[in-house]
């Protein structure tokens, strides 16, 4: 009997292209869950009925397929796990015709949720191979641009990831775009980086609007502040001045809304890590620097910004626990902090999941901007 169960588990896991570690984390097994899963597959022990149910019923079908008859087409660059895509796709008005993401773990999560694998490294993709589209979206890495005796504009962006977006805008001329970046983009390299970006977009013929929004003003309890640059081609969209920045609903938020009711003890930080956090906080305070870790309760209105390095020690967001060390948020809680729907699939290890959600976008903010872009294109 145990052999039959082991075969069932292995077949299911291989069908999902998941490692034992990924499957163990995805169904919520304890710290050394991959060892447990290995024993089940080898027939050395058996899962409970509940554990077996969780494995055999792990979703195989992508929940967020392209809308069939959507009026507008879009390309998703630096796609990550598809947060920006989701914000547009949830309007029901946009279908995605091309996506690009180089990270293989992000590709796996993207494929599980959207049913397609993004093309790889955008620097190796010819613009001619990208289908024509109405909207381009991308959250590109922020790099300083060389100003060595050059004029501001398209040529100055070479060697940066923004150049990849610029060359595709130049070649394909979509009607509109949305670019997302960190708040510090405006002050990066003494403001030169932002200046080059805006002047390049202007050189390419686009009229731009730059906005700064906090995720917590759009109903998710996270103080995530990001820059969003929206652009329209006035030749194709003569009514581009009709674009209105979305008005944040400023719904009251609290951390308890995203917390899971039952959380494994593996998310509670160790005595050693907790002692280190407390020691560093005292040292930082004495030196007048940032004070280190932050603890929130279910009643707190919001958390700090979730970062891609969260997997290391979780210091920016710790949840208080009675008579215990604080704990990290779970990957599912991280997804909720970014406003991802409850049926969004997490098919990777906890470490990769933290990186992916930390690098992603707040879906409700993108969705609000997407609606305003579509109003103009409509």
Cα separation, 130 vs 76, in Å, equals 11
Selecting among 79, 119, 136, 142, the annotated active-site residue is: 142
Are the CB atoms for 344 and 63 separated by under 8 Å?
Answer: yes
**Angle, CA of 86, 359 and 183, to the nearest 5°:** 100
19-58 as b/e, with b when 16 or more CB fall inside 10 Å? ebbbbbbbbbbeeebbebbbebbeeeeebeeebbebbeeb
Residue 298 phi/psi, 5-degree rounding, is: -55, -25
Cα separation, 263 vs 272, in Å, equals 21
Measured from the Cβ of residue 182, the count of other Cβ atoms closer than 10 Å reads 15
Are the CB atoms for 228 and 369 separated by under 8 Å?
Answer: yes
Secondary structure (3-state) at 75: strand
* 244 assigned to active site: no
| Structural element, H or E, at residue 296 | strand 295-296
Q: So which residues are the catalytic ones?
A: 142
């Amino acid at each position: 009997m145990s052999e039959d169960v082991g075969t069932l588990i292995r077949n299911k896991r291989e069908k999902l292209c998941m490692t034992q570690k990924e499957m163990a984390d995805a169904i919520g097994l304890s710290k050394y869950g991959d060892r447990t899963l290995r024993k089940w597959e080898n027939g050395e022990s058996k899962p409970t009925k509940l554990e077996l149910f969780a494995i055999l019923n792990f979703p195989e079908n992508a929940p967020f397929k392209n809308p069939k008859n959507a009026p507008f087409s879009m390309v998703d660059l630096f796609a990550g796990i598809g947060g920006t895509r989701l914000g547009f796709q949830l309007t029901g008005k946009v279908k995605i015709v091309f996506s690009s993401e180089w990270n293989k773990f992000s590709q796996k999560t993207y494929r599980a949720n959207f049913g397609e694998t993004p093309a790889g490294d955008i620097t190796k993709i010819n613009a001619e191979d990208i289908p024509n589209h109405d909207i381009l979206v991308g959250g590109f890495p922020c790099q300083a641009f060389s100003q060595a005796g050059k004029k501001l504009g398209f040529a100055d962006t070479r060697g940066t990831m923004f150049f990849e977006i610029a060359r595709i805008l130049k070649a394909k001329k979509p009607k509109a775009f949305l670019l997302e970046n960190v708040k510090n983009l405006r002050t990066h390299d003494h403001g030169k980086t932002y200046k080059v970006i805006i002047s390049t977009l202007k050189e390419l013929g686009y009229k731009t609007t730059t906005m700064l929004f906090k995720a917590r003003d759009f109903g998710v309890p996270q103080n995530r502040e990001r820059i969003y640059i929206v652009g329209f081609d006035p030749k194709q969209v003569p009514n581009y001045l009709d674009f209105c920045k979305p008005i944040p609903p400023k719904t009251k938020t609290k951390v308890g809304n995203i917390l899971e009711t039952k959380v494994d003890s593996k998310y509670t930080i160790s005595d050693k890590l907790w002692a280190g956090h407390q020691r560093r906080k005292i040292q930082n305070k004495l030196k007048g620097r940032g004070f280190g870790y932050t603890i929130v309760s279910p009643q707190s209105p919001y958390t700090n910004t979730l970062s891609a390095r969260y997997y290391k020690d979780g210091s920016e967001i710790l949840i208080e626990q009675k008579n215990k060390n604080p704990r990290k948020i779970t990957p599912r809680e991280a997804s909720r902090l970014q406003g991802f729907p409850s049926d969004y699939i997490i098919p990777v290890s906890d470490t990769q999941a933290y990186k992916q959600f930390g690098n992603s976008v707040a879906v409700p903010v993108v969705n609000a901007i997407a609606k305003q872009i579509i109003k103009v294109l409509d």
